[in-house]
Amino acid sequence: MSDDIRRRMFHEMEQKFVFDEARNAAYSYADRALERNVFPTDAALAGLSNFDEDMPQTPGNALQILQKLHRYGSPATVAQTGGRYFGLVNGGVLPVTLAVRWLTDFWDQNTPLYLSSPLASRLEVITEAWLRDLFYLPDSCVAGYVSGSSMSILCGLAAARQRNFERLDWDINRRGFSGAPRLRVVASRQAHGTVSKAIALLGFGTDNVEWVDADEQGRIRTDLVPKLDASTILVLQAGNVNSGAFDDFNTLCPKATRVGAWVHIDGAFGLWAAGSRQLAHLTRGIEHADSWSFDGHKTLNTPYDSGVIICRHREALVKALHAAGAYIVYSEQRDGMLHTPEMSRRSRVVELWAALKYLGKSGIDELVYGLHERALQFAGELEQQGFEILNDVVFNQVLVACADDAQTTATIAAIQRSGICWVGGTQWQQRSVIRISVCSWVTTAEDISQSVRAFVDARELVLKSARQPAS
């Protein structure tokens, strides 16, 4: 690298003007987050063409790069840090976690090993204990900090595969599936798409899963769950991604573990119900499971990306995810990479730790229950306006339908165009429906009412255009 670039970079680090520029841009972005169109306007999207250019031949200018990003990038973001994004279960971001993220960005820690970041190692252990406490999980449980539930589900099922094969005297890591004894996988037809993906990645094959029908709320039908045995992996769900429904853990978990089956619970956003006194009944029985996956970046409102795998059997998880190399020096302390598929990782545990430290148990209770209250309000006000609510609003999800599928689909498009709020669509019991996730601490009662008015206006637009004679 030429002295010229290095000198400029030392200057940038010393003078901090690049970071001041970033901070000013971030503040002006944040100050407008509540008013911005939730989905970018057409003009903002058109502005993205400013990024269409050839790879530069020579170094650029840091300030200009930031200015370009703020000028054309910021307007083209989805305003999910405002209060009216109800699309994916995205969650907002707690201010303290965002500030902590900035600090950790300057640390630039890599966290595979104690020796690469003693600080992250310590916070991983402390956060693990806090999570066990919060979710009432047994002391033997360990946590791995990954990018999201897609990854943590994969980890849970990999540990299950390891343990169940080991019982059959089969080392899956060395021998693979060829000639292997059969393991069974039992899951709900309403399992999340990332569960199917993990099953496929782990070589089980989705065709080999014993899929179980769900009831009208999206809960696995306990009466249809086949006889389980010690070779089975049973995948359950805390929080159906459409309806928010919770499987009946109290019935299924003890039944499964009595015969030695492994139970994994996908609780991406729903496991946090355990942190609310009034909602904890939804998660009754989860403590009997073997592994649990959930996100920080959804219900808890940490920044992206933050997922957690908790596993009751440390040995199974470590055997499934272990990597070796002459230069990889494990220590007596906690080495995070033993619990994750990744080796190099940012110190994402710090934001999770900060969120738990900031909110405490009562703050988590208020956050989680608050999302539920806003969801109930949303459902109640929509029903008053003649929309049909299709699910029991047990958590943060609301499923809504208009008079027929065509009207529902057109209404979704009109709501999205309004810029006032953003919701997506899904299929529910062979119907097209509007899917609402209330998942940000920012969302107020007024945001809900304003969004309900946007629903009503959108439906009115759709009806009006239907009444207009074809030209």
**Whose CA is closest to 375, among 252, 248, 270?**
270
Nearer to ligand PLP, 81 or 299 (CB): 299
Q: Residue from 141, 209, 265, 268 that binds ligand PLP (CB under 6 A)?
A: 268
Nearer to ligand PLP, 18 or 78 (CB): 78
Residue 307 found at the interface with ligand PLP (CB under 6 A): yes
Alpha-carbon gap, residue 153 to 91, rounded angstroms: 20
Residue 282 found at the interface with ligand PLP (CB under 6 A): no
Nearer to ligand PLP, 247 or 295 (CB): 295
In the complex, least distance from residue 194 CB atom to ligand PLP, rounded to whole angstroms: 4
Please choose, out of 265-273, 282-290, 334-342, 444-452, the segment that lies near ligand PLP by the rule CB under 6 A.
265-273
Nearest residue to ligand PLP, scored by beta-carbon proximity: 148
Please state the three-class secondary structure of the chain as a single string: CCHHHHHHHHHHHHHCHHHHHHHHHHHHHHHHCCCCCCCCCHHHHHHHHHHCCCCCCCCCCHHHHHHHHHHHHHHHCCCCCCCCECCCCCCCCCHHHHHHHHHHHHHCCCCCCHHHCHHHHHHHHHHHHHHHHHHCCCCCCEEEEECCHHHHHHHHHHHHHHHHHHHCCCCHHHHCCCCCCCCEEEEECCCCHHHHHHHHHCCCCHHHCEEECECCCCCECHHHCCCCCCCEEEEEEECCCCCCCECCHHHHHHHHHHCCCEEEEECCCHHHHHHCCCCHHHHCCHHHCCEEEEECCCCCCCCCCCEEEEECCHHHHHHHHCCCCCCCCCCCCCCHHHHCCCCCCCCCHHHHHHHHHHHHHHHHHHHHHHHHHHHHHHHHHHHHCCCEECCCCCCCEEEEECCCHHHHHHHHHHHHHHCCCECEEEEECCEEEEEEECCCCCCCHHHHHHHHHHHHHHHHHHHHHHHCCCC
- The 389-418 contact track toward ligand PLP, x by CB under 6 A, reads ------------------------------
- The 33-52 contact track toward ligand PLP, x by CB under 6 A, reads --------------------
Please choose, out of 146-154, 218-226, 256-264, 393-401, the segment that lies near ligand PLP by the rule CB under 6 A.
146-154
Nearer to ligand PLP, 164 or 437 (CB): 437
Nearer to ligand PLP, 113 or 238 (CB): 238
Nearer to ligand PLP, 90 or 121 (CB): 90
Please choose, out of 20-28, 101-109, 264-272, 454-462, the segment that lies near ligand PLP by the rule CB under 6 A.
264-272
In the complex, least distance from residue 235 CB atom to ligand PLP, rounded to whole angstroms: 10
Q: Residue from 89, 157, 274, 279 that binds ligand PLP (CB under 6 A)?
A: 89
Residue 439 found at the interface with ligand PLP (CB under 6 A): no
- The 313-352 contact track toward ligand PLP, x by CB under 6 A, reads ----------------------------------------
Residue 242 found at the interface with ligand PLP (CB under 6 A): no
Q: Residue from 37, 90, 194, 432 that binds ligand PLP (CB under 6 A)?
A: 194
Nearer to ligand PLP, 266 or 351 (CB): 266
Q: Do 220 and 194 form a contact (C-beta atoms < 8 A)?
A: no
Residue 87 found at the interface with ligand PLP (CB under 6 A): no
Distances (CA, A) of 160 to 204, 261, 296, 411: 12, 9, 23, 43
In the complex, least distance from residue 154 CB atom to ligand PLP, rounded to whole angstroms: 10
Nearer to ligand PLP, 90 or 127 (CB): 90
In the complex, least distance from residue 458 CB atom to ligand PLP, rounded to whole angstroms: 25
Q: Residue from 239, 275, 303, 336 that binds ligand PLP (CB under 6 A)?
A: 239
Question: What does the binding site for ligand PLP look like in residue numbers (CB under 6 A)?
Answer: 89, 148-150, 192, 194, 239, 241, 266, 268-269, 295, 307
